[in-house]
Structure 1
């Protein structure tokens, strides 16, 4: 369980005061309250940041870096957020290579703050005070200013940190539930799989009981009145991309929001390729939202709604509006 490690409050555009609670466990969270948000945008230029006070998680001190106008020229339209180890140089030097998982989210985005979600995030190495990890393009400022996260020119970020026990494997503290990892392994190794789906030319092996336990639609299809007459036959899923069904299965087994499979060539491409990738991601989100509605996965629908709202743009607003009205 994550322990509360205190709160840092930014006021008057640049001053930050911190009240600290020592989170003695290997998992804890800290709140960063940004008051006078518009003033921070006016007074802190691109490339500069406001740093929170030090807070303790897992026996080490951490800091949050907030850049209201982005940390570099390519993120000038975004807010940037990073975390790092802080404290005396001697303290940091003793930790040759501390490994930790973390999540930066708005305080109301509870789906990102669950231990199982943080366990599934990437493990990062923190070896010095200058070793920052985070997101240069956390959220576009205009999107933040239109969102419900900003109220009375104020928003609150939550930083969850999970210090890893085993520096070789990146495994986090053993007291946290890892049932989602077991089910993810079950999905991939296919042991005991008793149903096969064909989606757009690709086949997926799964477990009837898992699907039925998570979705009323799958329950009816696999065990109820809608049950296939020949239980050994392949079930064909129409009107759905294979990568969308794969993401749907990932959520069903792990209860974590899935990531879209990306083309490495597109990630390394230029501006046009990046725009194409962004458009593809929004389309994938929309298709996943439709799939969640189709199989009555209400939590996945809510997660998709949040991502669609965050990535809303002129090019996607019409299709997103149509999707909202239809579903």
Structure 2
């Protein structure tokens, strides 16, 4: 009999196919109550999305649970202390989607700075053909010579920095520690925001980064500044961002993540100086294969009685 694995979060069925070939899946799709206590009694492993809240109370519904495996790099929704207290290993997929997420960061940056949505609308409306003037189509500063700040220098941050450098920019960064990378290190997020005109948020979500990009950081970017977020919506104070964009305290934003997904507030969607995408940074075929490879490696090791190869350490 194949080992049982609980699918805790809601996933598209296509993303679960490879797991179903090796394990008996109990697909809760976000509703664990659909299974009886007896059905959950012998479930030793679960797969979840890292952003889905998962505390000790939910863990206790599975008395033999020994491994929580996150599909993706994030794990901010997991109560790591509760898992450690119960002897539950937690794994994820570090770096598996880094290249794809870095690509979307650059796409959002260029689209925001060069006002691509506005230009697209200008053509579709017939205003270009009609030679109708538009203040939004005035020449803007491009990328050459810009200072781009990367907040977070993990796997994704490094790939973003490497891509951005190709646009003849200066690249700086701030992270918890200084790294051996060929970019200018700034000692604080405030210093980074003062220094750059494009701030790319690539830091891991958590209590210490919640609303780290606040009204003060946005003010420091200045009226020609842009912010790009491919991390998590919680890192930016969304109300402060709306205010900064509305008041033109900053020039624009490119956002792949939001505070309450899958909902982007109307105040953001109504603004012409924002480029939006529906959290599709890691949503490429190769990224999903790589993330699934990590999930399978974690599960296979766990059921073989070995340490998870991609285990998250610490609480």
- TM normalised by structure 2 equals 0.30
Q: RCO greater where, 1 or 2, for CA within 8 Å and sep 6 or more?
A: 2
Q: TM-score of the superposition, structure 1-length normalised?
A: 0.29
Kindly indicate which of the two structures has a greater share of residues assigned to strand.
1
